[in-house]
Structure 1
Amino acid sequence: MLEAQSKELNNSLIRVREACSEEEFDAYREEIGKIMGAMYLDIMKPIHRKYPELEPAELRLSR
């Protein structure tokens, strides 16, 4: 579910970039970055530490 939410947040960036000024987009992107960072650091990373088999392969490669 968190992966799907991340994709939706990324998709929202595209829609906002197309509809807003650069200044509005930059502000929106910054807030989306905070949300996505919190989702990973506060929720997903602790789960992956406890259950490494749940961590997607593409994230394991980035260590």
Structure 2
Amino acid sequence: MQKEIAKQVTAIMLDCCKKLEESIDLVANASRDDELEKKELMDFRSSIGKIMGHIFVDVLHPIYQRHPELEPEELKSQRR
């Protein structure tokens, strides 16, 4: 993948992850009191985690291997 395209894809994927995290917050704030909703939140959080895992492992990691300069510093420091 060309560097400029990789840069754009990376930005889109990181924005997707941010939106996915926001969806967890939204569901969590609505699920505070109800036990069934708490279970649904755990399931939802697990599903979102799987999606984010696929984004990082299957999309971003190959980009960062080819273009390491595109990997954000905070992600680099998490791997150390």
Q: TM-score range by the shorter chain?
A: over 0.9
Cα RMSD of the aligned pairs, angstroms, is 0.9
Match among 40, 44, 51 for residue 28 of structure 1: 44
> Relative contact order: is structure 1 or structure 2 higher (C-alpha 8 Å, sep ≥ 6)?
2
Gaps of 5+ in 2: 1-11, 32-36
- CA distance in 1 between partners of 2:14 and 2:72 (Å): 10
Number of residue pairs aligned between Structure 1 and Structure 2: 63
Q: Name stretches of at least 5 consecutive residues in structure 1 with no aligned partner.
A: none
Distance in 2 between residues matched to 1:61 and 1:24, nearest whole Å: 32
Higher radius of gyration, 1 or 2: 2
Runs of 4+ with deviation above 2 angstroms: none
- Match status 1:43 vs 2:54: no
Aligned to 1:7: 18
